[in-house]
Structure 1
Amino acid sequence: MRRVATIALALIALGASGVGAYQLAPSPTDRPAHWREIAWPFPRDGWPAGRAFRCVGACEGAELYVRAKLGFCNCDRGVADDDEVDRVTDLDLISPRFAATAPGEKVGVGEMHGRARQYDLDMADGTRRVAIGIALSRRCDLLVAVAQGAREAMAVRSVALEFLETQEMKSWMTAALDGR
């Protein structure tokens, strides 16, 4: 009988420790965002391919597409309004059915300044996604980025801008805008 009681106590202790470990384990939204580079998913067009990334961690499943568009910006005003963001940010490569959900806001990454605007995307498979279009200017050149995902738009925007601010991405963006 004593042996059965010892085994029962051991099983209860193991079960309790497993429940505790499960409750203390970080949820996917607690993990930091980590971007992994993927192949550029879009067909060739008039601009060079850029870089594409998929997020794991807090922004699971979000994707970010970034590329330079040299000589495609108003040299005096930069990215001046939301119409320009709508026109240049490559949203139509993800889905031709997109709609802005809010006015854009001024943003900056390193020395570049521009605007970001959020959108709803109707995907070909019938799902809905959110997207953030970002257009940044440097002299007469543009750097455009689109982040899209299934999470809340401001969360996608936050992790995308945070990633664009990394030294690796700022160095790449500068080189891309310099034509290297």
Structure 2
Amino acid sequence: MRRWPVIVVAAAALGALSGAAAYQNIAPRQGEQKDEQQGEQKGSWQEIAWSFPRDGWPAGRAFHCRGASCGGGIEVYVRPKLGFCNCDRGVADDDEVDRVADVDLISQYFVPLAPGEVVQIADMAGRTRAYDLKPSDGSRRVVIGIAVSRRCDLLVAVAHGKGDAWETRRAALALLVTREMTRWMMAAMEGR
């Protein structure tokens, strides 16, 4: 019977700590919103819930940007796919980006706009590619698929918005190279 008060206090403390951690992760950090070279506001990135059903991979992190520099609204979803990459070549071509970058989570109906481009995020190399997509509501949206690798592991991101492909890609990559995201991606790629 003496254990119940201890259990209740421990549960309340854990709840308070996790609530504080969630608030801290959602609120944009002032130092990470400024472009260090130009001092411009990058936009208001806010962490949102992972909105896709469970599949064979764990849910990742999701963000929404509302600033004018984000083309009026962009969402970015990023997650690791451990053990899902060609260990010798990494992300070598556009077909692999098409296959792994989670674009199909946004819509099954996507068409590449152009050949992809090589990209480097933290210590991971890979490719990025832009797609035009036709959602069921008939509106036009642009989607950017990003797939980078380290050893035999993938980190994938998909960004979508109503703006043009170049602006959506620029905003998504700016988010992914922030200090906080780089730390999280490195930890996620190590399975932590």
Q: TM-score range by the shorter chain?
A: 0.7 to 0.9
Question: Secondary structure of the equivalent of 2:185?
Answer: helix
Q: CA offset at residue 56 of structure 1?
A: 1.4
Question: Secondary structure of the equivalent of 1:40?
Answer: coil
Q: Aligned equivalents of 1:121 and 1:172: distance in 2? A: 29
Percent of matched pairs sharing the same residue:
65
> Residues 69-148 of structure 1: matches in 2 within 5 Å?
69-148=81-160
Question: What residue in structure 1 maps to residue 64 of structure 2?
Answer: 54
- Residues matched between the structures, number: 151
Given residue 52 of structure 2, which amino acid in structure 1 is its aligned partner?
A: F
Bigger mean CA deviation after superposition, 55-64 or 104-113: 55-64
Which segments of 5 or more consecutive residues in structure 2 lack a partner in the other structure? 1-39
Write out the 4+ residue segments of structure 1 that deviate beyond 6 Å after TM superposition: none
Which segments of 5 or more consecutive residues in structure 1 lack a partner in the other structure? 1-29
Given residue 46 of structure 1, which amino acid in structure 2 is its aligned partner?
A: G
The answer as to 2:53 corresponding to 1:43 is yes
CA radius of gyration, larger in: 1
Q: Aligned equivalents of 2:125 and 2:44: distance in 1? A: 24
User: Over the residues paired in the alignment, what is the CA RMSD in angstroms?
Assistant: 1.0
Q: Aligned equivalents of 1:68 and 1:106: distance in 2? A: 19
The answer as to 2:135 corresponding to 1:156 is no
TM-score by length of structure 2 reads: 0.77
Q: Aligned equivalents of 2:148 and 2:51: distance in 1? A: 22
**Selected match of 1:178 from 171, 187, 190:** 190
Deviations 1:154-179 (A, max 9, x none): 00100110110001000100111111
Q: Aligned equivalents of 1:34 and 1:159: distance in 2? A: 11
Q: Aligned equivalents of 2:114 and 2:41: distance in 1? A: 28
Given residue 45 of structure 2, which amino acid in structure 1 is its aligned partner?
A: W
Q: CA offset at residue 39 of structure 1?
A: 0.2
Q: CA offset at residue 31 of structure 1?
A: 5.2
Question: What residue in structure 2 maps to residue 33 of structure 1?
Answer: 43
TM-score by length of structure 1 reads: 0.82
